[in-house]
Structure 1
Amino acid sequence: MQKLLLECIYPIGVISLLCPTFAGVSLGMSKASIGICNSASIKSDIILTIIPSAFIGVGVLYSVLLFFTTAPQGTPTEFSIPMKWLAAYIVTGMGMFWGSISLGDISAVATVTAAQQKRFKPSFFLLLVFGELIGLFGLIVGFILSVSNRVWA
């Protein structure tokens, strides 16, 4: 039974990292698209309103980066190290989920305001950078927890 549970930790970790990331990016993009469509009805030049889509999608890159750089090595024999690795993937996945949703919320409002006001653009990008910090902190915590816990044997 212990061997079976140990072998399930890796797939659960991958699911815990990637599924929340993709769900958050999807929800964030859907929220941002509402703002982009509303801003397009105000102003036909929507180049600056499409930029938040790139910020929202960065969470996928962060998760894939963590996935490929911290893949476990060896077969697990006890629970302590794989569970720390699993915690890293859960923290990062949830950080990407909430970070992408927050960027979607920021983008939905900021794109409309950017279309209405001429001088809003620097603040617009500053809001996106602060929204991106949630995912970045999740990635940093994930690296701290998982890099030292890669060797399972």
Structure 2
Amino acid sequence: MELKESYGAYANLFIRFEKNIHELVRKLEKGLELKELRIENQEYEPYNPIAYSEVLGFEMEVVELKENQEWPGYNYLMAVVTSDSLKEIVNKHMHDLSLWMARYVTVACGITTLVSEANKEIGQSFYRNEKTMKVEINLVGRENSVFSGKSHQT
């Protein structure tokens, strides 16, 4: 039997949610079936409130973005990473679960999410159509203009 390398995982997604972080936390706890997210202020400026949870070897943070100039209208960032992954990060042994996580959060919570592409000029937006209960996926430009013909339902 040969030894295999271990891999970690991460996800980064923007969330569009008009209410405060406490309301968002309640929606995430219910939809994702999380026991409890702690809310604290960030340790460093700008001291924004941050929600935090650890579950099944993952650490999750949700932070309010006071001014998101990269993706206007998306006012929260959710970052998820496997715990104790320093070795995997250094060795570039990390799987990007951002697209899957964004779709999952949209399905489970009914929240609009967005994953920025590496070039940060376009992103994929996930939205649950409440009439059809299907998730619609759109390519979005930096100015939030949807590229025509690039919509998909799951």
TM-score by structure 2 length? 0.26
Higher strand share: 2
Q: TM-score, normalised by structure 1?
A: 0.26
Name the structure, 1 or 2, with higher relative contact order (CA <8 Å, separation 6+): 1
Q: If each structure's helix is expressed as a fraction of its own residues, which one has the higher value? A: 1
